[in-house]
Chain A
Amino acid sequence: MTEAEAREQLDAHVCEMMAWHFNPETGSPFWLEKAQSFNFDPRTEVKCFDDLKKFEHFEDEWLRGGPIRRWVPKAYENEKIYVFETGGTTGIPKSRAVVNDHWIDYEIFSETLPDESFPKGSNWLMLGPSGPRRLRLAVEHLCQVRGGICFCVDLDPRWVVKLIKRGNVAEMEAYRDHVIDQAVTVLSAGHDIKCMFTTPKLLEALAMRLMDDGTSIKEQGISGIFSGGTEFTPQWYRFAMEELIEGVYMTPTYGNTLMGLACSKPFDPADEYKISYHAPQPRAVIEVVSFDDYHELVGYGETGRVKLTTLTKEFFVPGFMERDEGEREKPCDPYPWDGVSGVRPFHEFAQSTTVGVY
């Protein structure tokens, strides 16, 4: 697909989504009600992606509190609904109602995984946040569509954030050890686990525990890992590849409950571990925009704030300002649309954000 074709596809998809979300027969109560305050008709006046600027920026505060069903499109009201939460260490978390999006996002992601490192039919270890997060179910689904069975551990990141805020390092370390103990036990139990999702912090802890035990992630049979988060920096990527998991394939991802999962440009030694993420267009779009004007894209290679747009039949998010910043990246093969690299916490929030908790 060329860049022009990708853009054409995106514009057509936007029209389709407008027709869906603002149709009283299919749209969600939230958007149908919201539309009454608009001075434009999304179904007739939003004809391409750029026209989404007519919407005010999406405020994630709208996702706090109920009723959750106001987010469910009428077309899906009789489906089985999942709810996934983000945040929530204190106060009411943000919630997203989902029917199939988490399955679809991870099925698309599955197609980007190399079979030699993530062999079809092999079992997985999901070593990451569980509970109301969607990761637990999504990773299990990813494993299942690849023909495997997924082993999981419990991990409550809200508790870890509380421990960090209290400065309770000993308790945090004890909890981390408790999680790693479970992972080591699962890996040692003869379940033929070859693939894993984990976070940078937990991967470090697991790899070093295994080294202390005289073995390694590779020796335990793992051949492919996917991981993510703002802690997944180029330096950390290189450190992990050279010192933690030598000989194991690892791919970075960037995502959240609102957007889905952005894949990274395939590893190229010439990039010096630079990580560029590309959203699963047209279902979601990442833009890097000026700190001063969130409608204005920065130039390629320039720094700006990450802006997300989600365009699925289940969820419409026009222009959500993410809590991250990074550099705008050019389209690449196999992603003929913009990406973002150097993702890190937005500098204005950075000091108050607790990252890398699990």
Chain B
Amino acid sequence: MVEIPVLRWGKPYESLEKDEVVHFETGETLAHVHQANGGLIQMDMRKAQRARDILREFSIDDLIEKVGKAADLYAEGTLPIGDGQQTPADFCKMQSATTGLPEHMCAGNMKKNQFVLKNMREILDALTRGLPLDILSNGYGMEDRGVMVSYQANAPVLGLVLPSNSPGVHTLWMPVIPLQMGLVLKPGPQEPWTPYRMTEAFYAAGIPREVISIYPGGADCGAAVLANCERAMIFGGLPTVERYHGDPRVQPHGPGFSKIILGDDKVDDWEKYLDLMVDSVLVNSGRSCISCSGIWVSRHGKEIADALAQRLGPVAPLPATDPESPLAAFTVPGMAEAISNQIDEGIKDPSVTEVTEKYRDGERLVQKERCDYLRPTVLHCTNSETEISKAEYMFPFVTVVDCPQDQMLKRMGPTLVCSAITEDEKLSRQLLDATFIDRLNIGEVKTIALNWLQPHEGNIIDFLYRARAYQTSPPPAH
């Protein structure tokens, strides 16, 4: 059991209130996490500019080197965690034990974070479209083509209100320190592990302690981070996303409603793409905004759903320590049951058929003493207007939706990742023009296959920096 303090600009702070983080299977207390309060965050944010000032004493190149070192320390080193020490294996065990994600998936997420940190130079080069990085440090500079450009930081720090159940999201904030901005992290109650371990890795790699704060705590802490950071990201459900939609200070991340569509030119060969579809639904236990929750086709829907169900239906929970464990546990009491009930309600519609049932040898909802599981569920929907046809849940759940190709874009709704398997030029053009699609893959690309050189839900550079005019001499006469 470890004692994890609040970190206030690198200084440990022991609160009078602590949260117990427990193992979801055994009930063992794994950590006492000290809890911040909103006022304390507000107080600290009055000194946020200092984090940026300190980071600007280093060049972005230096910081990229340091986070590269941090990548290996994070993935391979033994690092402090509160009053204890933690190996990578300990980390995976602890993260698994509190989030319900199987240990091998936790290890997979570690590798993903390591990859992003190690390839930070290429990622920043891609996200800035090749901008000389000292322009971000100086605020202005001349490009090779002789054009003066200026970028102004929108905030000295980025605030993050992080989730409990999705350890895959942390790659999003990896570029912040190299961009010379401080980090203000409010971890999810069940996932303090990544923020603390990554922070210790940064410290061990030479990043100054004073540029990172971590505030575990209740809802008032999340609200304080959002209220006091000029730029912040929050992870939550649809209501959270809707609440912050249009707020330039907040980038909300929620359900992805990611989809695969098979164009009329390819759908008759659907069997060729079955592995792609299965992986897009099942990898990371479907617990990701990039996991596929809808497959849209104009024909063969019933056969595709049946083929998917044959592959996904038999998938059953295994111990979190099993390297083949395919499903994450639901550690919040009642959540899995509520989701299962919602699905049961949805399939009462005559246009919806649950196809997995006959291949599953048991119920969808598996209730254990201290956690629950939901086994993969494939629905075939002949009507694309039903609510369930566009649903997304935190487990391998997918709807195969029958819809004429010329109606797909009108009906499919917001989509974080759309993998379109087609060579139809007209459809491709329509997809390129569809503003409700964020990441577009045209070709045989799994929805979960992210290229880190591409922006995700908005380019973080555009979020953190503002391109503006800067002149040091009069413009040419005109």
Identify the A interface with B (CB < 8 A).
167, 169, 173, 200, 204, 208, 211-212, 233-236, 238-240, 243-244, 272-273, 356
Contacts and interface: CB of A to CB of B under 8 A. Distances in A.
Given A208-B43, A233-B17, A272-B16, 12 more contacts: A204-B39, A212-B46, A234-B17, A235-B15, A235-B17, A235-B35, A238-B16, A239-B37, A240-B39, A243-B40, A243-B43, A244-B43
Nearest to A170: B247
A236 B243 contact: no
B227 A235 contact: no
Contacts of B42: 204, 208
B28 interface: no
B16 A235 contact: yes
B15 A208 contact: no
A169 B227 contact: yes
B220 interface: yes
A239 B46 contact: no
A167, A234, A235, A244 pick with most chain B CB within 10 angstroms: A235
B38, B39, B40, B42 pick with most chain A CB within 10 angstroms: B39
Contacts of A240: 39
Given A235-B37, A239-B37, A356 B220 contact: yes
Contacts of B243: 167
A238, A272, A356 pick with most chain B CB within 10 angstroms: A238
9 contacts: A169-B227, A173-B227, A208-B46, A234-B17, A235-B35, A239-B37, A239-B43, A244-B43, A273-B16
Contacts of A243: 40, 43
Interface in B14-41: 15-17, 35, 37-40
B227 A233 contact: no
A243 B44 CA distance: 11
B17, B37, B46 pick with most chain A CB within 10 angstroms: B37
B46 A236 contact: no
A250 B192 CA distance: 34
Q: Give 10 closest A-B pairs by Cβ, nearest first.
A: A204-B39, A235-B16, A234-B16, A235-B17, A167-B243, A235-B15, A236-B37, A239-B40, A235-B37, A238-B16
Nearest to B35: A235
A95 B227 CA distance: 35
Contacts of A211: 46
Nearest to B34: A235
A272 B226 CA distance: 30
A173 B223 CA distance: 12
Contacts of B226: 169
Nearest to A244: B39
Contacts, number: 38
Interface of B: 15-17, 35, 37-40, 42-43, 46, 220, 226-227, 243
A173 B37 CA distance: 18
Nearest to A208: B42
A305 to B, nearest CB: 21
Contacts of A235: 15-17, 35, 37
Nearest to B43: A243
A227 to B, nearest CB: 12
A271 B290 CA distance: 50
A259 to B, nearest CB: 26
A233 B37 contact: yes
B63 to A, nearest CB: 30
A236 B39 contact: yes
Contacts of B17: 233-235
Contacts of A239: 37, 39-40, 43
B51 to A, nearest CB: 18
A121 B423 CA distance: 86
Contacts of A356: 220
Contacts of A244: 39, 43
Contacts of B46: 208, 211-212
Nearest to A273: B16
A235 B35 CA distance: 9
Contacts of B15: 235
Nearest to A351: B219
A167, A173, A211 pick with most chain B CB within 10 angstroms: A167
A239 B221 CA distance: 14
Contacts of B40: 239, 243
Nearest to A238: B16
A273 B42 CA distance: 21
Nearest to A233: B17
A135 to B, nearest CB: 21
Nearest to B250: A169
Contacts of A238: 16
Nearest to B40: A239
B87 to A, nearest CB: 32
Nearest to B36: A235
A233 B37 CA distance: 10
A333 B269 CA distance: 83
A250 to B, nearest CB: 13
A296 to B, nearest CB: 26
A246 to B, nearest CB: 12
A271 to B, nearest CB: 11
Contacts of B43: 208, 239, 243-244
Contacts of A234: 16-17
A165 to B, nearest CB: 11
A236 B227 CA distance: 18
Contacts of A272: 16
Nearest to A167: B243
Contacts of B35: 235
B202 to A, nearest CB: 26
Nearest to A203: B39
Contacts of B220: 356
A244 B37 CA distance: 13
A167 to B, nearest CB: 5
B338 to A, nearest CB: 14
B16, B226, B227 pick with most chain A CB within 10 angstroms: B16
Contacts of B227: 169, 173
A239 B44 CA distance: 12
Nearest to B39: A204
A272 B38 CA distance: 20
